[in-house]
Chain A
Amino acid sequence: MMAGLDVYALAAAALIGLGFFGLIVQMHPLKRLLAVNVLGNGVFLALIVIARRLPGGPDPVPHAMVLTGIVIAVSATAFGLALVRRQARDEEGDDE
């Protein structure tokens, strides 16, 4: 069992922090969508770290959760990107 901090836990914390910061500070929808994805990857990495630290070695259940989470994140991001594009087109229409 790993003790103390390891590089993966630190990376997870950094990603979560960065994503959270980006979501609050950024105004552009595309950047906010990216920030949510960074935050999501941080949470996924945290799940992997937790799986590694559980007694009895790497636990497969959090890995399955991360895989499902990635599928959901991909579909939600695709939908978000479509919305961003539609919003941008609406705004272009205003300029003409």
Chain B
Amino acid sequence: MSDALLPLSVFVPLLAGVCVFLSGGGARSPVALSGVLLSLAISLLLVMAVGSQGTLDHALAGWEPPLGIRLHADGLAALMILLTAVVGALVSLHAVGQFAGKSEIANRFWTLWLLLWGSLNALFLSADLFNVYVTLELVTLAAIPLVLLAGSRQSVSASLNYLLLALFGSLLYLGGVALIYGMTGTLDLQLIGERLPAGGWPVGVATALIVAGLLVKAAIVPFHFWLPPAHGGAPAPVSALLSALVVKAAVYLLLRLWAGPLQLPLSAPWVAQLLGALGAAAIILGSIQAMRQPRLKLVVAYSTVAQLGYILLFFPLAVASAWQGAVYHGLAHGVAKAALFLAAGNMLYHLGHDRVAELRGMGRPLALSLGAFAIASVSIMGLPPSGGFIAKWLLLQSALEQGLWWIVATVLVGGLLAAGYVFRVMRYAFMEAHAGPSVDRAPTPAQPLMVWSALTLAVLSIVLGFTARPLLTLLGEIPLGGG
């Protein structure tokens, strides 16, 4: 019975998206809001079902693989679906305020966001390599038009670059999938692990293609250059969804492939070290870039480049606590980053600009949004008590146990650099200005929904510091040995 939740969690948001498009409602469209509520409820039920019954399986329309499509929900997938549901619901509340009075843009936002939600759930539940390809493309094709909602010229060229790179990345991935099918005769994530030859160059090439394709999609250094213009230029709710969820989906797939079919090739020492080194480079370069950005949303976007690097540190560590740390980092970053983007969006909405150096005197008019920004930053910096602290602590612990000092150093320096770019923003924002903040136009105070959704997400990023036990229990053991 409860395995019916798997297809529902995919098709309800997809159908709701189509219905919103056909009904043409605006920011407060009842169709869209009930679609969001329904999708949220199904996601939560699915997570509870996985929590009580363990992994769930469903063969669509009763067709068993290899012909049919199998959906598979384990602890990892359940946590990602939970993250998507919680962040998505709160961002939806923000969007009601952000797009109020702009019914055409609001309608497009609801359509695309609900399609994106369904595609993300489908990606998390995919149990074979080709469905992963299809859902990756669905996610990309739903996410890029969202960037265009900003309506600016820069967003068109940012979207075009994003699209070309995303297509290139998924073709690399598909090439790898073709080679794996040629070697194993199956696409099923579990069966591949059993049938894949232990060595040889075809396995190496296939792994390299798949990993490179996913790294492009995940905006890991050196493929990060498309992310900041796209995420920094989009409307705030869109930036939050892209940074918290969409890039996370590609990194999730790297973990999923390590957990299933590609554990052996991905555990080869030089591959694991290379992925870890890319993660470390992302942390350092992304943080330094974040410190130098003139605009607040670009600071937050480069911070995403940096924070994604932490998840890649899992590969050279590859022990239980690193597994938990990497996944928990995905959750903590998702919630905190959504809060940061929504708070930054509120400031932009109020002031008409987000130039960091002119953010002074915001204390009174934007106190709650600034507070949300500060609280979420605690998690981004990895200070206790927050979700980011738990995640970084787990990573640090496993690095210390294995004597991998370069990882210890990277995590510590990464935290300091994060403090650097966060406090640079705070320094300006908390400065007194008798004339009030500098504005580009008459200030438009952010609506209560926009403020409170950002604040709720920020508080959740701290709450994650206390809920590690149940969530990590749901995640379960590190899947060693494939399958």
A residues lining the B interface (CB < 8 Å)? 16, 23, 29, 32-33, 36, 39-40, 43, 46-47, 50, 53-54, 59, 61-62, 65, 68-69, 72, 75-76, 79-80, 83-84, 86-87, 90
Contacts of A23 in B (CB 8 A): 164, 168
The residue in chain B whose Cβ has the minimal distance to the Cβ of A56 is B185
Nearest Cβ on chain B to A80's Cβ, whole angstroms: 5
Closest 3 CB pairs of A and B: A50-B182, A47-B178, A83-B160
The reply to whether B156 and A83 form a contact with Cβ atoms under 8 Å apart is: yes
The reply to whether the CB of B174 lies closer than 8 angstroms to some CB of chain A is yes
Known contacts A80-B160, A86-B156; is-contact A61 B181 (Cβ 8 Å): yes
- Give 13 A-B pairs besides A43-B178, A50-B181 with Cβ atoms closer than 8 angstroms: A36-B164, A36-B168, A39-B168, A43-B171, A43-B175, A46-B178, A47-B174, A62-B178, A62-B181, A65-B177, A83-B148, A83-B159, A87-B156
Chain B residues touching A, range:
20 to 34
Nearest Cβ on chain B to A51's Cβ, whole angstroms: 8
Expressed in whole angstroms, the Cα–Cα distance for A75 and B138 within the complex equals 10
Known contacts A61-B181, A83-B159, A90-B153; is-contact A75 B141 (Cβ 8 Å): yes
Nearest Cβ on chain A to B246's Cβ, whole angstroms: 16
Between A and B, 25 residue pairs with Cβ closer than 8 Å are: A16-B175, A23-B168, A33-B164, A36-B167, A36-B168, A40-B167, A40-B171, A43-B178, A46-B175, A47-B181, A50-B179, A50-B181, A50-B182, A54-B182, A59-B185, A62-B181, A69-B174, A72-B134, A76-B137, A76-B163, A83-B159, A83-B163, A87-B157, A90-B153, A90-B156
The reply to whether A68 and B164 form a contact with Cβ atoms under 8 Å apart is: no
Expressed in whole angstroms, the Cα–Cα distance for A79 and B145 within the complex equals 9
Nearest Cβ on chain B to A88's Cβ, whole angstroms: 10
The residue in chain A whose Cβ has the minimal distance to the Cβ of B154 is A90
Known contacts A39-B168, A46-B175, A90-B156; is-contact A76 B141 (Cβ 8 Å): yes
The reply to whether the CB of B283 lies closer than 8 angstroms to some CB of chain A is no
The reply to whether A61 and B171 form a contact with Cβ atoms under 8 Å apart is: no
Contacts of A72 in B (CB 8 A): 134, 137
Tell me which of A53, A61, A79 contacts B163 (CB under 8 A). Answer: A79
- B127-166 residues at the A interface, CB under 8 angstroms: 130, 133-134, 137, 140-141, 144-145, 148, 153, 156-157, 159-160, 163-164
The residue in chain B whose Cβ has the minimal distance to the Cβ of A59 is B185
Known contacts A54-B185, A79-B163; is-contact A61 B178 (Cβ 8 Å): no
Contacts of A79 in B (CB 8 A): 141, 144-145, 163
B residues lining the A interface (CB < 8 Å)? 66, 130, 133-134, 137, 140-141, 144-145, 148, 153, 156-157, 159-160, 163-164, 167-168, 171, 174-175, 177-179, 181-182, 185, 187
For B66, B141, B181, the residue with the greatest tally of chain A CB atoms inside 10 Å of its CB is: B181
The residue in chain B whose Cβ has the minimal distance to the Cβ of A85 is B156
Expressed in whole angstroms, the Cα–Cα distance for A68 and B174 within the complex equals 12
Contacts of A76 in B (CB 8 A): 137, 140-141, 163, 167
Contacts of A69 in B (CB 8 A): 133, 174
Nearest Cβ on chain B to A23's Cβ, whole angstroms: 6
Contacts of B181 in A (CB 8 A): 47, 50, 61-62, 65
The reply to whether A53 and B182 form a contact with Cβ atoms under 8 Å apart is: yes
Expressed in whole angstroms, the Cα–Cα distance for A67 and B140 within the complex equals 19
The residue in chain A whose Cβ has the minimal distance to the Cβ of B170 is A72
Contacts of A65 in B (CB 8 A): 130, 174, 177-178, 181
Contacts of B164 in A (CB 8 A): 23, 29, 32-33, 36, 80
Expressed in whole angstroms, the Cα–Cα distance for A12 and B182 within the complex equals 15
